[in-house]
Amino acid sequence: MSLYLAAAKGSDSDDFNDQLIDFSLYQIYPRSFKDSDGDGVGDLKGIMSKLDHLIESNVDAFWLSPMYPSPMVDFGYDIQNFTDVDPIYGTMQDFDSLLEAAHEKSLKLFLDLVPNHSSDKHEWFYKSLQNIKPYNDYYVWHKGRVLKNGTIVAPNNWVSVFGGPAWTWRDERQAYYFHQFTKEQPDLNYNNQKLVREMKEVIRFWLRKGVDGFRVDAVNHLCEDTRYLDEPLTGDTNDPNNYGYTEKIYSKDQLQTYKIVLGWRQVMEEFEQPRFMMMEAYTNVSMTMRYYAYGAHYPFNFGLITDMQKNSTAADFKNMVDSWMSNMPAGSIPNWVAGNHDKPRLATRFGPKRARAVTLISLLLPGVSVTYNGEEIGMEDTWISWEDTVDPSGCNAGKDGYESASRDPARTPFQWDDSTSAGFSTNPKTWLRVNDNYRTVNLAAEKEDSQSYYNFYKKVSSLKKSNNFKGGKLVTKLLNKNVFAFARDSRSTGYYVVINFGDKDEIVDLSVFDNISRQSLLYYDIGAVLPSR
């Protein structure tokens, strides 16, 4: 597979000043980014010490996976207090210092907002369990169904994302509570207007501190059909504890969700400086696009993760791009997510060479590119033994199924150099083990290698920041069965990106693009940009 980049003089295009247009977003998983105190877990001071890496990598903004107080059943996504910092990551003062340092470097900082549920250790849940008003209705409670023999069972057949029933009985309330994820993550009740106002206050708390916005977690799980009917069976599995057992027509993607999202956008509009909101929702195209109309600056586009594989063809990539662009409402901002902490790493999914092609596509298409920490250096998944597995998704799958279910392999520490624990920590024992390849796959080594994954990433991300890739019209072409190409026309220059997914060189006709000039043709070959003549 080879990559080509051609540049040619083109026509003028509109001048885009919107801060969201064509910027680079970077996800930091705090536990695994940088440990400053030697306890084997990443922290806020560690992140602050590495902000220059983001600048050098041409990042415009970063978002932090949860750093709130948590029992860590789901490593921060089970939140005990929505408006504080977990001591394992530092203090609120550390967060304030990080935010100030980021803004001094002109970096935007987004937080992970997790509105669907809390920890069962949250004060709200304790009070709800005791039926104390107004908290008694902050969560989704149901007395269950009574069988003919008098036995009380769960209200319906809904299944948790992590497997098993989505309902857990509590004697204290003589009722079941609903949880889309682990039983330690009870779902909040957005039919309760006091709860709705509480979450708006959480948003205001962080916006007053100066954060630039939020990535909203699992937003399409927010609301449920309150008839609590059984969901139809998919026929894909006979296991009622498997998440794929039912079609999720009542437990997710409910229309009420969009009204809640619109209310959050209205909160953001209370603040003078622009604040941004992006949605995480694994759902179909029509439901995804609806978030644009209800206040989201953009819903994450997971096409590169969910629709593309190692064997995807040039036509597959073109169709994925065209589908998003054609379904997106006019005037909206596209985005391209290359990887995240919930899925196998980019280089593992595609292999190192094809991963570079995906990196190029995500960075040079119009809109926002999203890079998961470590993927700029080509980090790969790390094998984790059953005994060392900590992710609840993997643990719930059991010893025989954990390897395909666990998210731990994509969450191992960032590989900074070839010292102890890859420079992530001075502690040789880290919360997840470091990948064995860290002596060769690390940032320090790759900076010295002109052909490295990092230098490839840096060159392409630098192009993204150039004026030539700000705005402009996008045209995509399938030049033959192996070659996908797209054109970016900016005010001064038209760029033509040509990607060969085949194993052999291809001769293609670039005249299918209008106004192309061959006078400034460049050859792009796995990390090196060279003049063709």
Write out the H or E segment, with its range, that includes residue 406: none
Q: Which H helix or E strand runs over 519?
A: none
Q: Which of 74, 112, 184, 280 is catalytic?
A: 280
Torsion of CA 149, 152, 153, 156, to 10 degrees: 100
Give me the torsion for CA of 74, 80, 83, 88, rounded to 10°.
Answer: -60
CA atoms of 303 and 298, how far apart (whole Å):
14
Are the C-beta atoms of 175 and 142 separated by less than 8 Å?
yes
Tell me how far apart the terminal alpha carbons of the chain are, to the nearest angstrom: 21
Name the amino acid, one letter, at 70. Answer: S
DSSP annotation of 91 reads -
Is residue 489 part of the annotated active site? The answer reads: no
Any idea which residue has 């570079």 for tokens?
A: 356
pLDDT at 496: 83
- 37 as an active site residue: the answer is no
Q: What pLDDT sits at residue 19?
A: 66
Burial grade of 357 (CB within 10 A; 0-12, 13-18, 19 or more): buried
Helix (H) or strand (E) holding 364: helix 352-364
- What pTM, to 2 d.p., does this model score? 0.94
- Rounded Cα distance between 471 and 383, Å, is 41
The per-residue pLDDT string of the chain (533 residues; one tens digit each, 9 = 90 and over) reads 666 555 554 433 333 335 667 899 999 999 999 999 999 999 999 999 999 999 999 999 999 999 999 999 999 999 999 999 999 999 999 999 999 999 999 999 999 999 999 999 999 999 999 999 999 999 999 999 999 999 999 999 999 999 999 999 999 999 999 999 999 999 999 999 999 999 999 999 999 999 999 999 999 999 999 999 999 999 999 999 999 999 999 999 999 999 999 999 999 999 988 899 999 999 999 999 999 999 999 999 999 999 999 999 999 999 999 999 999 999 999 999 999 999 999 999 999 999 999 999 999 999 999 999 999 999 999 999 999 999 999 999 999 999 999 999 999 999 999 999 999 999 999 999 999 999 999 999 999 999 999 999 999 999 999 877 877 789 999 999 999 998 887 655 667 889 999 888 888 888 888 765 543 343 343 333 333 33
Out of 217, 381, 391, 489, which one is annotated catalytic?
A: 217
139 by DSSP, 3-state: which? strand
| 301-334 burial: b if 16+ Cβ within 10 Å, else e | bbbbbeebeeebebebbbbbbeebbeebeeebbb
Q: Which residues contact 208 (CB under 8 A, 6 or more apart)?
A: none
What are the structure tokens assigned to 482, written together? 């192996």
Pure H helices in 121-240: 123-129, 193-209
